[in-house]
Structure 1
């Protein structure tokens, strides 16, 4: 189901589940195809791959292989780092992925954040404001490359002189654009330019550690949604909201796991139980939590890690599409 096929505003959208398959146990044709088919068979809407330079598969080739192995599963990057690719090149790759997958591609874009990627590859890491400004220009270039006419663009970071992007994507005017983040500047840009907005913790520090705890609370999430609503204006009802789930554990001992999560991230147990970035409890409890969070925050698309693929399958079976 594409963004344009879902009616109503963020609070009325049906549940969709994405599975992040960046680091499979094996990387070979048969194993990857089997994994993609398993994701599809279990009812997940989208198979996504992140864009880092560590121990993971490269997103473009992996996504095309996943699309070839399936028939209805959508594919997406969660998310392409703008600093690693020129937007003209990425637009061509994205349009080709969309065309060859039969219109099943979702284009996730980000400003880049993981310091180890930049350090190990010898890439310059500019301040967040510069990276976000560059991403804003990149979005204009990519959308221009998807348009029917040639693109003329003269920005601070990118210049394009009459280039007509080919092929054109199957989904028009373009594949759904996903922008995720946790800071106000990036979420404001997402509210103005994206179709799907992914809520995450603020990764300005470049690492995932206990310092992110306060930015993962329900209160922090409400603040972020306020920023999005303010910046979106009339676009608010067109947007779809998703959230990155960093921990998903099906267990009958909900309180003990929540205590462990709280200790690791500097939260209270109650904060750990209600953070939108974790799912802990029985299948019934998790389903109830997701319904409550959709009512409270408008979060309808859930992105989970590969290690939760089968454990969370009963939740997906019960809620997907409802």
Structure 2
């Protein structure tokens, strides 16, 4: 009997695959069996994600495209909704919309965009999500919040999928994860990055006991709909190796823990193909993770695992 949460895999590209153009990379990921091409939304990481997701969708036929994740501080939701609905329409429903409250301090410092305290950014994310969903739905939409006011605005064009493309909300703190559980289609259960940069505390927050708590927050928000959610793991480290313990020992000081705990973290994926498959099955049983985001520089190496497990 098939597991209710089937495995699928995305690759997140910060640059094209070696020897390929951006569009050739999208075609290759499709050929390798990846479900989704994700792009980041940081000012210092590659081309504009809206234009590139549209272009990647145009040169593929089955590959989903998306941004992991849009920083809600960078774009007004009425503007973003129109662009995303257009991509969803043109791709015939192959868009996934990742949303986040913003975390990378240098994005704000270098662009001059104010970086509000976390509570304000999370409230803006919540409103932003509600506006997007409202504009993806049919009919005129009204909203009056702390950050956005929408008056009798009908979202155009209508997205390809009724109700709009699936929403991914990623985060690591209780308020965001409860909101994601209640609202999103896909929940990215991630480490919390309070400092504005990936540091030792963020690494420790990726360990198994912290993930146990994070999934509980998602369940609290989701209630009876938890079984319908897809849980997404953004892999900070992925490495195919026959010496998983040795590789983990190199990472352990950065995580502030023992190598065994590094291997157990669902935000790392280290080992031989057989070990990796076993880890993925174990994580699905323990936490519900079925949708894994592979770093782009490991997309080719992990393609056999993707081919073997996708859809199982």
Matches within 5 A, 1:145-160: 145-160=135-150
Asked if the contact 1:213–1:267 (Cα under 8 Å) also holds between the matched residues in 2, the reply is: no
Runs of 4+ in 1 over 6 A off after TM superposition: none
1:189 aligned to which of 176, 179, 186: 179
2:13 aligned to which of 21, 27, 38: 21
Q: Deviations over 1:207-239 (max 9, x none)?
A: 012222221111111100001101111221211
Partners of 1:280 and 1:84 in 2: CA distance:
34
CA RMSD of aligned residues (A): 1.4
Partners of 2:98 and 2:172 in 1: CA distance:
15
Q: Deviations over 1:238-282 (max 9, x none)?
A: 111011111111011111101011122212111011000111110
1:214 matched to 2:204? The reply is yes
Deviation at 1:57, TM superposition (A): 1.5
Q: Deviations over 1:105-127 (max 9, x none)?
A: 00111111100000000110001
Deviation at 1:26, TM superposition (A): 8.0
* Partner in structure 2 of residue 260 of structure 1: 250
1:139 aligned to which of 129, 151, 173: 129
* Partner in structure 2 of residue 125 of structure 1: 115
* Partner in structure 2 of residue 274 of structure 1: 264
**Paired residue secondary structure (1:198):** strand
**Paired residue secondary structure (1:84):** coil
**Paired residue secondary structure (1:12):** coil
2:27 aligned to which of 33, 37, 40: 37
Asked if the contact 2:23–2:55 (Cα under 8 Å) also holds between the matched residues in 1, the reply is: yes
1:88 aligned to which of 60, 69, 78: 78
Partners of 1:25 and 1:195 in 2: CA distance:
29
Partners of 1:137 and 1:33 in 2: CA distance:
34
* Ranges in structure 2 where 5+ consecutive residues have no aligned partner: none
Deviates more, 1:206-215 or 1:287-296: 206-215
State the TM-score, normalized to the length of structure 2: 0.97
* Partner in structure 2 of residue 297 of structure 1: 287
**Paired residue secondary structure (1:276):** coil
Deviation at 1:153, TM superposition (A): 1.1
**Paired residue secondary structure (1:48):** strand
Alpha carbons of structure 1 residues 274 and 66: separation in structure 2 relative to 1, 3 Å: same
* Ranges in structure 1 where 5+ consecutive residues have no aligned partner: 1-7
**Paired residue secondary structure (2:307):** helix
* Partner in structure 1 of residue 4 of structure 2: 12
Partners of 1:258 and 1:24 in 2: CA distance:
27
1:50 aligned to which of 37, 40, 45: 40
1:287 matched to 2:312? The reply is no
Asked if the contact 2:17–2:297 (Cα under 8 Å) also holds between the matched residues in 1, the reply is: no
**Paired residue secondary structure (2:98):** strand
Deviates more, 1:211-220 or 1:172-181: 211-220
* Partner in structure 2 of residue 4 of structure 1: none
Partners of 1:91 and 1:128 in 2: CA distance:
24
Deviation at 1:188, TM superposition (A): 1.1
